[in-house]
């Protein structure tokens, strides 16, 4: 692969004629084939990517190329791209082709990015290890015995293994940040409503956001400038103007930062992950930031609240996969009811079925108040407490995950153990605030450790500024 540092540097090389978009695309296709065993890609869009690359080379010559000219980008398999397959890594969407492109894809294409293919993930973005894909597990290139994280595992691996310049994932409870943390990449979850969800296959609509996984913070900032902003197709996309994220990167601002004492002292936090977090806190203090401990006594409520509300939303969102409208239809069906039952029984995997049943249960007449309404109230409480901390502090800092990438099968037998992997990441989705995972050194087991920064709603600009200080210091 042509050497890569940042998207901006690559753009300069392309304009100077040192390489071409076609050459970069061909190299990416070869690199993906050479790393096929990682199983990061479900499909390479070879023909459309090369056709696009030829056009982009013409634009580069004419001086009319966009900000992402030639940048090789991969999409999680739940982001729609017109006339290309999309399956959410599920058998139930077998053979389905997108009828339209997501807003994110349209904005990437408008800036001349090259969309190279679709990336493996947990089925319908439900999982923390990529072990729930109907198309097999994805290997972590840093240690192939370990998971890459999930659900955007293929997206993280494509960046970590050097197969893409950047990729996109979706984050409902940590699915961008946790795999980024497990693979030593940068993962960004925008404020809820900062990026349009049009053309994203919904998991839990009041939590989902699309965001980038990149080699560095500067690229994440640039990609966010491109994809963020109002969209007439998504009424939850905010009208607020998009900040100048790339411009904020070199500012040397000092901030007030809170670390959550309850997170740092959490049972189950790997001692070395804790140590690395504390060391970074000391470095931030030495660089002039104020970092203080804050109380967040609700840590134990985060994961249950997340799983009650997201499964409820999922049970509704996934009802559209009925064997009539999309993809797979059971060949064993004899009438309408058996079409629904057999298609859904055969088409969905085990974890997706578990969540649909759980979500249907918490929404059912007898249990609605006890579970769903209660979880909504707890969401409000968690929101208020987090906002209170963010009134006194610009940011909240935590480890991204309690440990490093774990071995395949380690959490598979116990869903609760798997769900607890999300303990630090779900808060940002419950509350709707922006969050980033950046690499924070290496564990003695040789695997990367991640650090998470959460900011105020729509304060992406300062979040990128602090994140770039953390990664440069
Ligand atoms: N691991 C979490 C879950 O299983 C997060 C998933 C996500 O963010 N899409 O739900």
pLDDT of residue 473 exceeding 80, the answer is no
Residues sharing a CB contact under 8 Å with residue 15, sequence separation 6 or more, in sequence order: 60, 65
* Number of Cβ atoms within 10 Å of the Cβ of 341: 16
Distance 371 CA to ligand 1 centre (A): 20
pLDDT at 472: 72
Are 260 and 294 in contact by the 8 Å Cβ rule? The answer is yes
Residue 227 to residue 197: CA distance in whole angstroms: 11
Strand boundaries in 197-328, DSSP class E: 209-214, 256-260, 290-294
Residue 189 to residue 169: CA distance in whole angstroms: 9
The pLDDT tens digits of the residues spanning 229-254 come to 999 999 999 999 999 999 999 998 99
pLDDT at 420: 85
What is the overall mean pLDDT for the chain?
A: 97
**Residue minimizing CA distance to atom 5 of ligand 1:** 173
State mean pLDDT over 437-441.
98
pLDDT of residue 427 exceeding 90, the answer is yes
The pLDDT tens digits of the residues spanning 308-321 come to 999 999 999 999 99
pLDDT at 62: 98
Using CA atoms, how far residue 154 sits from 75, 77, 122, 150, 182, in Å, is: 9, 9, 9, 8, 12
Distance 216 CA to ligand 1 centre (A): 23
Distance 366 CA to ligand 1 centre (A): 27
Residue 183 to residue 161: CA distance in whole angstroms: 9
Distance 92 CA to ligand 1 centre (A): 19
Name the pLDDT band for 348 (thresholds 50, 70, 90). very high
Distance 76 CA to ligand 1 centre (A): 14
Which residues does ligand 1 sit against, CB inside 6 Å?
Answer: 125-128, 150-151, 170-175, 203, 422
Q: Is residue 62 exposed (0-12), middle (13-18) or buried (19+ Cβ within 10 Å)?
A: exposed
pLDDT at 90: 98
Residue 24 three-state SS: helix
The pLDDT tens digits of the residues spanning 25-44 come to 999 999 999 999 999 999 99
Using CA atoms, how far residue 392 sits from 389, 395, 435, in Å, is: 6, 9, 18
Which one, of 145, 137, 131, lies nearest residue 413 by Cα? 131
**Candidate of 128, 197, 318 to mutate for ligand 1, largest count of ligand atoms within 8 Å of Cβ:** 128
pLDDT at 419: 87
**Candidate of 130, 151, 206 to mutate for ligand 1, largest count of ligand atoms within 8 Å of Cβ:** 151
Active site residue 364: no
The pLDDT tens digits of the residues spanning 186-223 come to 999 999 999 999 999 999 999 999 999 999 999 999 99
pLDDT at 414: 87
**Residue minimizing CA distance to atom 10 of ligand 1:** 126
pLDDT at 466: 97
Distance 207 CA to ligand 1 centre (A): 10
The pLDDT tens digits of the residues spanning 278-302 come to 999 999 999 999 999 999 999 999 9
Q: Which of 21, 151, 152, 155 is catalytic?
A: 151
pTM: 0.98
Ligand 1 atom index nearest CA of 421: 1
State mean pLDDT over 416-439.
95
Q: Can you read off the two tokens belonging to residue 66?
A: 């966009």
Q: Can you read off the two tokens belonging to residue 134?
A: 């109907």
Q: Which of 20, 21, 35, 76 is catalytic?
A: 76
pLDDT at 413: 87
Q: Can you read off the two tokens belonging to residue 277?
A: 């977090």
Active site residue 437: no
Active site residue 392: no
Q: Which of 175, 181, 248, 468 is catalytic?
A: 175
State mean pLDDT over 374-380.
98
Ligand 1 atom index nearest CA of 178: 1
**Candidate of 125, 426, 432 to mutate for ligand 1, largest count of ligand atoms within 8 Å of Cβ:** 125
The pLDDT tens digits of the residues spanning 112-134 come to 999 999 999 999 999 999 999 99
């Amino acid at each position: 692969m042509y050497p890569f540092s940042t998207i901006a540097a690559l753009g300069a090389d392309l304009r100077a004629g040192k390489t071409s978009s076609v050459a970069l695309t061909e190299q990416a296709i070869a690199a993906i084939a050479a790393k096929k065993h990682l199983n990061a890609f479900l499909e390479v869009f070879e023909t459309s990517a090369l056709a696009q690359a030829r056009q982009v080379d013409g634009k580069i010559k004419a001086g009319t190329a966009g900000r992402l000219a030639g940048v090789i980008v991969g999409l999680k398999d739940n982001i729609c791209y017109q006339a290309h397959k999309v399956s959410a890594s599920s058998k139930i969407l077998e053979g389905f082709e997108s009828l339209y492109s997501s807003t994110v894809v349209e904005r990437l294409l408008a800036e001349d990015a090259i969309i190279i293919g679709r990336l493996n993930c947990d089925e319908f973005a439900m999982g923390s290890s990529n072990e729930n894909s109907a198309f097999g597990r994805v290997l972590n290139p840093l240690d192939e015995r370990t998971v890459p994280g999930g659900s955007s595992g293929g997206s993280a691996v494509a960046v970590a293994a050097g197969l893409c310049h950047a990729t996109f994932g979706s984050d409902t409870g940590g699915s961008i940040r946790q795999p980024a943390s497990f693979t030593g990449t940068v993962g960004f979850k925008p404020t809820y409503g900062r990026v349009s969800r049009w053309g994203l296959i919904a998991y839990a609509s009041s939590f989902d956001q699309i965001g980038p996984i990149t080699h560095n913070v500067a690229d994440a900032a640039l990609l966010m400038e491109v994809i963020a902003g109002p969209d007439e197709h998504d009424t939850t996309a905010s009208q607020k103007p998009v900040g100048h994220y790339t411009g904020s990167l070199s500012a040397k601002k000092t901030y007030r930062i809170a670390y959550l004492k309850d997170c740092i002292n959490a049972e189950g936090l790997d001692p070395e992950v804790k140590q690395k977090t504390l060391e970074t806190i000391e470095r931030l203090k030495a660089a002039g930031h104020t970092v203080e401990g804050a109380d967040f006594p609700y840590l134990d409520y985060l994961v249950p609240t997340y799983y009650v509300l997201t499964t409820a939303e999922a049970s509704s969102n996934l009802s559209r996969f009925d064997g009539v409208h999309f993809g797979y239809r059971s060949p064993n069906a004899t009438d309408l009811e058996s079409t629904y039952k057999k298609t859904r029984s055969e088409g969905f995997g085990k974890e997706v079925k578990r969540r649909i049943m759980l979500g249907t249960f918490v929404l059912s007449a007898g249990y609605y108040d006890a579970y769903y309404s209660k979880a909504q109230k707890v969401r409000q409480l968690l929101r208020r407490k987090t906002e209170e901390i963010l009134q006194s502090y610009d940011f909240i800092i935590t480890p991204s995950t309690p440990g490093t990438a774990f071995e395949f099968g380690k959490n598979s037998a116990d869903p609760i153990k798997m769900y607890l992997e999300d303990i630090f990441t779900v808060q940002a989705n419950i509350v709707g605030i922006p969050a980033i995972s950046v690499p924070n050194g290496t564990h003695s087991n040789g695997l990367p450790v991640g650090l998470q920064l959460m900011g105020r709603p729509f304060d992406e600009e300062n979040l990128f500024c602090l994140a770039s200080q953390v990664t440069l210091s």
